[in-house]
Structure 1
Amino acid sequence: MPFRIFQEAHEMGFNQTRGLLIATCIAGAGLAGCGPASELEPGNEATGASQQPLTEGAALTTHDASCLQMQDQNTWSTYASYLTPVGPALGLSSVLADLNRAGPMLTATTHPPAVGYKGGFRWNDGDMSTTDWVPQALTAGVSGSTNVAIVSWHYAPTTAPEKGVRISVADISDMSLSAVNYRHVLLVRPTSSGNFAVIPEHGGGLAWFGNYLYMADTSDGVRVFDLTQIREVSTSTTCDTAIGHVGTEWCAYGYKYVLPQVSAYVVPSSITSPCRPKFSFVGKDTRGTTPVVLSGEYCNNTGTGCPYDGSTPGLGGRLYRWPVDATTNRLKTVNGLVSPERAYIMNEPNVQGVAPIMTTTSTASYWLSSTRYGGALFKVSSSASRTAYLSGSAQWAKMPEGMHATGSGTNLWTVTEGVSGVTNPATGGRVVFFVDQASVD
């Protein structure tokens, strides 16, 4: 069904009163937010934990997000121009024609347990065992005639130099082969004409729309990368330990390709907690006539968790729906500002990823990937308690992270972070796999 969006008259009134709403939220509004209840979906009058206690596994709680907005940094043309001296812009097809690593396919004895399992692959031996890089997010799409999975990895060492985030571009067109070919690409942010730097983020979420790759920026919002602006850089010995313009070369710590950021959507600094969320993960939802970027918060159930959890640590993580302009594949803005069209409190701890349940038209239903119980897939909605698939019951993989649901409603893909020190893919090593959506619906 079409997404419900604010009516034009309501948008005008909302923009006029935005400053008052933000001021009210900053002044100390509780978990319920600070906007009018009329923005909520009919039949879900509870606006947060202040009206409906948080219970693990309970239905999604509708949340009032009227105090929240993001601002387009509008560096689209500037950042692209900064890369001109580096060399010609290359499309994703150039990387796909130059894949240099092979990840063996999972077999009946090497794949992790998962309800509805259909297929998957592991990384090569070096990527299975490295402690420098850790897989985080997954998204998928099509480039030309090639089906592609993109996985982000964050750089784990705390000592200099910081290498930021890399992505793996994998050709998943034929999962009947013996291996999946892939290549790592370093994400960079242009800093001046002919120069760039790494992006020191966690890389906890990815969503692919058109030529744009959205990545979660934990503290501030989402960063956007342009897959048509990939550049080839030097792989000389000098570049193994360098980033940016070095002498007559452009370096990326030995990586052959860089994917540059072109803009970002950030929460203004004037918006503070509890209105200000974390952007722990993102996802893609194309149900209805208006696609959305999903963003959500990781809240740890064993610690203080999110500041708006009250007496139920870990359960107050929020899930937001950010509308995308289907023509430009950028977020929909009014005067440079974008507002979430809907929001929920998840009532689940340790959430690492989200995917829409494509076998239904209800936009209030999702799969949540969680490291709760060592690994779990939760089916959630605003009308029913969750359905859980747990790694401890041999129903799901350990340490799952980002997810992607194919638009056809056929497959649900996920990537695992991997259990520390484990390289066996069947017992907790890093894997990418997919299951039948209907089996976990």
Structure 2
Amino acid sequence: MTRRTILKGLTAAPFAAAAGSLIPTVAEAATINAGQFSLTSRSTNGYGEFADLTAGLATKLTKVDATTVIAGTNRSATHLTSAPSTVEAFSTGFAWDGGDQAVDYWIPQGVTTSADAYGNGLYPAGGTNRVVLVSWYFETDPDGDGTDEYSLDKGLRLTLVDYTTSTKPTYRHVLLVEPVMSDTGEYSFNPIRKHAGGILWYGNLLYVVDTYKGLRVFDLNTLFKVATAEVDVCGLHTDGSYYGYGYQYVLPQSHAYDNAGTYLRYTTIGLDRTSTPDSLVVSEYSKSGAVDYTDGTFNGTAPGTTTPKVVRWNLDYTNRQLASLTASEAVTVAQEKIQGVVSHNSKYYLSTSAGPSTKGSLRTVNSGASTATTVCDLAIGCEDLSFHSSGASGWAYSESVIWNLSEYAGKRYVYAVHADGS
């Protein structure tokens, strides 16, 4: 089965309530024991320390940071002057160029912005860039008929969008990779063949959900420039050059947090700057209200309740890593097809999808409330969410907005809606 079949068939002050299913609107939520959800911190893979492997690559390749990539964007997006598709409460957004709008094997999934990375919304710290990041996964069987149309799975890519001039957004794709040693003992890297359903940018770190395993972490201060001639080669090639499937830059993994407690489906991830301390939240996707823990090999001790959950971990602002490996809060959410969850103060927002021909929905519930309400309609194929506070002084809107994106070819938009639905 393809990742689409497997995964598509299927974040908060204290969670006192959460949104209910689309019909009815009455929420059914319960706070559960957060201590059962835990992670282990991992600085190595089977080839050694991530830091050592990356240092080895730095002796072979030119190292750059994300600001270099942003300064050298090579594609132009189309600024949206009105709401796309079925979107309501539209604020701003863009559409990909014709190639990325139509390509069937790269599927956009996660979204985060420099308003997540830094409180003023600008990147880097002390800089002036307004940036949107989007994750994509490679689908070998885009029509879902069980037969691969593309034999080579190229893994994951990340798009860095320069949104500093919102009327003329530009962008560049980079390949996400895992540093390794080759069979001949040379420093190299491999593609990461996962789903990347949600991403979170916090300081210099990018968190990417790994559905069955936990969280992968990438340092945006460390990318490598590689050769581009070989579009079907990743890593060190027989000609002595390094390639990243034709992309000019690769971003190597720098750390991992592996699930160690009760099973959790790491579907999407979001940042909460209104909690103390800052925290990240992870939510689960379910096709019909029950989370599937049988379709893959899950890290952890055992499955718990199959009701979808939202689980929170506190963050350490000083190093941008987790402050604790044990979750600080957890709640069950009686809502199917959750594609994104964010929170701000005591209000929780959920994006819920409804297939390839029906509009999605942004829903919300207040802490202590019993009924979830629809904020506004989202695009068909809505995915991840990212909250953008009006308090982001360097990249401020007149009111807070929530970023979302849509995945289906020909209907792909990255956009923000008013958080109050106005």
TM-score computed with the length of structure 1 as normaliser: 0.75
Structure 2 counterpart of 1:400: 382
From the CA coordinates, give the structure whose radius of gyration is larger: 1
Identity of aligned residues (%): 28
Q: Which has the higher helix share?
A: 1
Aligned-partner Cα distance in 2 for 1:250–1:57:
54
2:372 is the counterpart of 1:386: yes
Residue in 2 that maps onto 1:156: 139
Amino acid corresponding to residue 156 of structure 1 in structure 2: E
Among 320, 323, 327, which residue is 1:329 paired with?
Answer: 320
Q: Distance in 2 between matches of 1:63 and 1:209?
A: 27
> Following TM superposition, by how much is the alpha carbon of 1:410 offset from its aligned partner in structure 2, in angstroms?
2.0
CA contact (8 A) 1:57 1:386 kept: yes
> In 2, Cα distance between the equivalents of 1:307 and 1:196?
30
Partner Cα distance (2:326, 2:53) in 1: 24
Confirm or deny that 1:92 pairs with 2:66. yes
| 1:118 aligns to 2:91 (yes or no) | yes
> 3-state DSSP class of the match of 1:191?
strand
Mapped contact 2:379–2:406 kept (Cα < 8 A)? yes
- For residues 139-178 of structure 1, the aligned pairs below 5 Å read 139-141=112-114, 142-143=122-123, 144-157=127-140, 158=148, 159-175=150-166, 177=167
Runs of 4+ in structure 1 deviating by more than 6 angstroms, as ranges, are none
Change (3 A) 1:81 1:307: closer
Q: Is the 8 A contact 2:375 2:421 kept in 1?
A: no
8 Å Cα contact 2:155/2:193 also seen in 1: yes
1:180 matched to 2:154? The reply is no
The answer to whether residue 31 in structure 2 is matched with residue 62 in structure 1 is yes
Q: Are 1:264 and 2:256 matched, yes or no?
A: yes
Matched position secondary structure for 1:190: strand
SS of residue paired to 1:66: helix
Amino acid in structure 2 at the alignment position of 1:398: I
Kept after mapping to 2: 8 A contact 1:282/1:295? yes
1:117-266 equivalences under 5 Å are 117-141=90-114, 142-143=122-123, 144-157=127-140, 158=148, 159-175=150-166, 177=167, 179-192=168-181, 194-236=187-229, 239-246=230-237, 247-266=239-258
CA RMSD of aligned residues (A): 2.6
The 1:138–1:182 alpha-carbon spacing in structure 2 relative to 1, beyond 3 Å, is same
The aligned residue for residue 6 of structure 1 is: none
Matching residue of 2:339: 352
Per the TM alignment, residue 171 of structure 1 is displaced from its structure 2 partner at its CA by: 1.0
374, 386, 405: which one pairs with 1:415? 405
Provide the TM-score with structure 2 as the length reference: 0.79
After TM superposition, give the deviation of residue 41 of structure 1 in Å.
6.2
Give the length in aligned residue pairs: 356
- Please point out which of 346, 352, 372 is paired with 1:370: 352
**Whole-Å Cα distance in 1 between the matches of residues 60 and 365 of structure 2?**
46
- Name the CA distance, whole Å, in 1 between partners of 2:14 and 2:380: 35
Structure-2 change in CA distance of 1:64 and 1:119 (3 Å):
same
Q: Secondary structure at the match of 1:284?
A: strand
Partners of 1:61 and 1:436 in 2: CA distance: 28
> Tell me, what secondary structure is at the counterpart of 2:51?
helix
Unpaired stretches in structure 1, ≥5 consecutive residues: 1-39, 47-53, 309-313, 424-428
How far has the Cα of 1:59 moved from its partner? 5.0
Work out whether residues 84 and 379 of structure 2, in 8 Å CA contact, stay in contact via their aligned partners in 1. Answer: no
Classify the secondary structure of the residue corresponding to 1:414.
strand
